[in-house]
Amino acid sequence: MRVSRISFALAAFIILLNTNIYPLEKVYIRFSPPAGDKLTYALNTVIQSSGSNVMGKDISMAASAKGDLVLDIIRVTANNVYTDLGSSDLLVTVQSPMSTRSLNLAPREKEKLKVVFNRAGGIDKIGNTAALKRKNLMNFSVIQIIRNYFPTLPTKPVAAGEYWTENKRMVVPFQGIQLEVLLNVKYTLDSIITTQAGKEASISAEYTVSLKGKRSISEGKVFFEGKGTGSGYIHYLVSRGYFTEYRLDYQIESEMVIKNKDHVLMQLPVSVTANASLELLK
């Protein structure tokens, strides 16, 4: 029996070596691209809300952003990565039953943001924001996009099966209400494999989402409340210090409640869905 157990363990070890998978290895997953690199990501994101008002009229809205984000890695220190963030094309479109509005948010050369990242991928500082103050469409801006759609990395080494968390806050305009979307994200390192580009971490993400908002109207007050869930994933080149693909999808089922003091006048369902992806082009 003892020989059989040893043989089984040896066979399992040989299989792991042949497949280049390292389930017990702890790795630092850090934002650490080399100085001088240029990272160009294709961005595609859509947020949609669907519902009807008290008269049964469609009040659905959709906001999308499509184009690229270009990160020039200027300087790298022990704690930070200094970058210039620009874009060759970044079209934001907001659609409602009444109108469609579009604006190209791509910063020109002198409008590039000076973004300082920490090694966990978080944003420590954003400079040159005054150059972009006019490039904003219903709260959708380059600054808002990078805060919403750049993932957070673990602050310590992790092995397959281990996780870390992040909280995000987004503000989405809807029918004159600033809807606050709160996301709690649980990232899990699923595996580490060896590719031609080096070690790559496969990371899954689980989202728990809540939504709230309110505004005053002649009849009383309008309240929004909702909850939802979602999922996503990240492919991260550990040896190069940046991600090659990031994807998230979530859905929120909510209610728009119209109240006059404590009396509920109307309750209407509103559904919100969001899909976003960032994929490295070069």
Assign 247 a pLDDT band (cuts: 50, 70, 90).
Answer: very high
Task: Spell out the domain ranges in the chain.
Answer: 23-280
% of the chain beyond a pLDDT of 70 = 83
Q: CA separation (Å) from 105 to 90, 108, 116, 117, 141?
A: 5, 9, 20, 21, 7
Assign 18 a pLDDT band (cuts: 50, 70, 90).
Answer: very low
Find out whether 172 and 63 touch, Cβ atoms under 8 Å: yes
pLDDT in tens, 210-224: 988 888 777 778 888
| Cα 111 to Cα 40: distance, rounded to the nearest angstrom | 17
Find out whether 33 and 246 touch, Cβ atoms under 8 Å: no
Q: Does pLDDT of 2 surpass 70?
A: no
Find out whether 237 and 245 touch, Cβ atoms under 8 Å: no
Q: Does pLDDT of 65 surpass 60?
A: yes
- Write out the CATH class of domain 23-280: mainly beta
Comparing 166 with 54, the larger pLDDT belongs to: 166
Instruction: Determine the pLDDT at residue 167.
Output: 93
pLDDT in tens, 183-203: 999 999 999 998 888 899 999
Find out whether 178 and 138 touch, Cβ atoms under 8 Å: no
| Cα 119 to Cα 47: distance, rounded to the nearest angstrom | 29
Instruction: Determine the pLDDT at residue 177.
Output: 75
Instruction: Determine the pLDDT at residue 189.
Output: 97
Q: Does pLDDT of 5 surpass 70?
A: no
Bridge partners for 50 per DSSP = 271
**Dihedral Cα 11, 16, 18, 19, nearest 10 deg:** 140
73's CB contacts (< 8 A; 6+ apart) are 33, 34, 35, 36, 37, 38, 39, 81, 82, 83
pTM score, whole prediction: 0.82
